[in-house]
Amino acid sequence: MINFEKPRICVSRCLGFEACRYDGQMNSQDFIEKLKGEVEIITVCPEVQIGLPIPRESLRIIKEKEELYLIQPKTGGDFTKDMVEFSKEFIGELKDIDGFILKSRSPSCGIKEVKIYNGREKASSSEKGVGFFAEAAIKNYPNYPIEDEGRLTNYKIREHFLTRIYINAAFRGIKNANTMGELVKFHSRNKMLLMAYNQKELKELGNIVANHEKYKVEKVLEEYERHLKMAFSKNARYTSNINVLNKSMALFSKYITLEEKEFIRDTIEKYREGKLPLSTCLYMIKSYAIRFGITEMLEQSFFAPYPDDLIELRDSGKGREE
């Protein structure tokens, strides 16, 4: 059984923790409810934490002379400075964070699709942007998993998010160990997963681990982490996953019958066509690794990048990404 390091993520407080939305409501979300027992969560409600009440008049981002402001139209209040200062302080004090889940379309927390208005009074939204707090998170945590609850209803986006927060948490453990030996083990057990995500960065990470320049371990870990984040910044393409599945099959193909090979190929083809999820192929290939005792496969995170309890195949069918 795999012992997963517990990720530490920052989540908007209104997403199932407190009724602190501007209208006094709370948005519960099944995925976040499931996460509660598996990860360490730090909650944030920037609007309440800068002193606004519950409920409150809604806020807007407005644009004037190419500058953005956080305004409360009903009262005329300008909370731009308060929000910028709070965001900078809160983000700066976060420690060992592995990712964020923020409230969609919020003028403070929205990571995209936030309405930006072209004036203070009777104005229409003219463009879309990012909330003030979300912008600070994105700026200070480049190449970190930062999602909103709406996008996480999509299976592929959710799978990618989980993979990233668990790889980040695992690497925090390696940094704490602070030894080249542990880094080598980490790189080895994540090689297939990295192959699926980004072969260019896999090669670069291999060169960093080799450490031909004999840098101190702290410098090696710093450089490795930078490229690790880059490797997982985009989701793995299904063609890359298929490539790794086929390479895995090659490790035991000499032990199985022609009929079994055909069944495996057919299952992988159904995944290619979008008729089966990747997890079905992973379980199938992993069963052969167990059957033939192929430990080099069983140790690979590619076959279990995060706990099985978090696998949820329901999909909104929206926002699909490769």
The verdict on 305 and 174 lying in the same domain is yes
Q: Give the tens place of pLDDT for each residue, 228-242.
A: 999 999 999 999 999
Q: Contact 247/202 with Cβ under 8 angstroms?
A: no
Assess whether pLDDT exceeds 80 at residue 121. Answer: no
List, for residues 252-286, the tens digit of each pLDDT value.
Answer: 999 999 999 999 999 999 999 999 989 899 999 99
Nearest to 11, CA basis, from 36, 38, 37, 47: 36
For residue 320, the model assigns a pLDDT of 37
Q: Which of 277, 319, 305, 318 minimizes the C-alpha distance to 4? A: 305
125 and 260 belong to one structural domain: no
Which amino acid is located at 124 in the chain? S
Does residue 216 belong to any structural domain of this protein? Answer: yes
Q: Tell me what pLDDT residue 33 has.
A: 94
With 0-12 / 13-18 / 19 or more C-beta atoms within 10 angstroms meaning exposed / middle / buried, residue 93 is exposed
pLDDT of residue 120: 79
Mean pLDDT over each residue of the chain, to the nearest integer: 94
For 83, 113, 200, the CA distances from 221, given in Å and listed in that order, are 34, 36, 18
Range of the domain at 252: 154-322
Mark which of 105, 131, 152 sits at the end of a domain.
152
Residue 316, pLDDT score = 64
With beta carbons less than 8 A apart as the criterion, state whether 163 and 305 touch: yes
Q: Angle at CA 204, nearest 5°, toward 201 and 210?
A: 140
Give me the half-sphere count of Cα atoms (radius 13 Å) on the Cβ side of residue 179.
4
The answer to whether residues 132 and 275 belong to one domain is no
Residues 209 and 102 in one domain: no
Q: How many domains does the chain divide into?
A: 2
Q: Identify whether residues 162 and 302 lie together within a single domain.
A: yes
Question: For position 312, what pLDDT does the model report?
Answer: 82
Last residue of a domain, one of 131, 152, 173: 152
Asked whether residue 1 is domain-assigned, the answer is no
- Say what the alpha-carbon torsion angle 220, 226, 228, 234 is, to the nearest 10 degrees: -170
3-state secondary structure the chain: CCCCCCCEEEEECCCCCCCCCCCCCCCCCHHHHHHCCCCEEEEECHHHHCCCCCCCCCCEEEEECCEEEEEECCCCEECHHHHHHHHHHHHHHCCCCCEEEECCCCCCCCCCCEEEECCCCCCCEEEEECCHHHHHHHHHCCCCCEEECCHHHCHHHHHHHHHHHHHHHHHHHHHHHCCHHHHHHHHHHCHHHHHHHCHHHHHHHHHHHHCCCCCCHHHHHHHHHHHHHHHCCCCCCHHHHHHHHHHHHHCCHHHCCHHHHHHHHHHHHHHHCCCCCHHHHHHHHHHHHHHCCCHHHHCCHHHCCCCHHHCCCCCCCCCCCC
CB 227 within 8 A of CB 201: yes
Shared domain check, 319 and 305: yes
Within this chain, do residues 221 and 88 fall inside the same structural domain, yes or no? no
- Check: CB of residue 263 under 8 Å from CB of residue 244: no
pLDDT of residue 317: 58
Residues 125 and 232 in one domain: no
What is the Cα–Cα distance from 257 to 266, expressed in whole angstroms?
14
In the structure encoding, which two tokens stand for residue 208, read together? Answer: 């960093």
Domain identity same for 169 and 291: yes
Q: Could you give the percent of the chain with pLDDT greater than 70?
A: 97
Q: Looking at the predicted structure, is the pLDDT value of residue 321 above 80?
A: no
Predicted local confidence at residue 319, as pLDDT: 42
What angle is formed at CA 313 by the lines to CA 310 and CA 318, rounded to 5 degrees?
115
Instruction: Please tell me whether residues 130 and 240 are part of one structural domain.
Output: no
Tell me whether residue 217 is in a domain: yes
Q: Does 3 map to a domain?
A: no
Domain end residue (candidates: 129, 152, 175): 152
Q: pLDDT tens digits for 51-108?
A: 999 999 999 999 998 899 999 999 999 999 999 999 999 999 999 999 999 999 999 9
In the chain, % of residues over pLDDT 90: 89
pTM for this model (two decimals): 0.93
Identify whether residues 222 and 99 lie together within a single domain.
no
